[in-house]
Structure 1
Amino acid sequence: MNSHQLFGGWADSARQPVEDARQAFGDVSKQAQRGFQDMSRTARSAVDDMQDAISPYRQSLEDAIVSNPVKAVGVSLAVGVLLGWLIKRS
């Protein structure tokens, strides 16, 4: 006994909407994947641009820290105390 005889015609008539839904889901999934890839490329480009823009500043900061390590530790400690005090107040 096949499914058509067992369940009547409703099984065959339900198959097409399920296939249509599966196709639509696949299309939406592909569009979402393309959108994610586009956003990912844009974000990577923005990160690269940002790294290029801050590279000279980063190098000068590293040079200042290397040439004045005691001052760098003092500034770091002062900033930490200030942030701790501000956080404690709120």
Structure 2
Amino acid sequence: MGSQSFGGWADSARQPVDTARQALGEAGEAARRGYDDASRQARQAYEQMEDAIGPYRQSLEDAIVSNPVKAVGVSLAVGVLLGWLIKRS
């Protein structure tokens, strides 16, 4: 009789554990779906951004290749300006 009461206690304890395990599994699945959706949206946004800036990027690369000395001068001037602003604040 003692083993039957212990078996009943174990069964009653097992049910909440199984319920919690199932709930965690469902929560994990929902989190995975949310991550997949966010990842897909981020990829789409990145692709749209690449499409939008593609022509500007190509023209910038062409300008740098055709005028390398001017490109270095502009980069140096921007660096000096930023350094001065950072040092000042």
Which bin holds the TM-score, normalised by the shorter protein?
0.7 to 0.9
Partner of 1:16: 15
Partner of 1:40: 39
Q: Percent identity?
A: 73
1:51 aligns with 2:50: yes
Matched length: 87
* 1:48-82 Cα distance to aligned partner (Å, 9 max, x none): 00000000000000010011100000100111111
Note the residue ranges of structure 2 that are not aligned, 5 or more in a row.
Answer: none
The CA RMSD over aligned residues, in Å, is 1.8
Partner of 2:83: 84
Give the alignment's TM-score, normalised by structure 1.
0.87
* 1:23-66 Cα distance to aligned partner (Å, 9 max, x none): 00000110110111111111101100000000000000001001
In structure 2, what residue type is equivalent to 1:48? E
Give the alignment's TM-score, normalised by structure 2.
0.88
- Detail structure 1 runs of 4+ shifted over 6 Å in the superposition: none
Aligned equivalents of 1:57 and 1:84: distance in 2? 27
Note the residue ranges of structure 1 that are not aligned, 5 or more in a row.
Answer: none
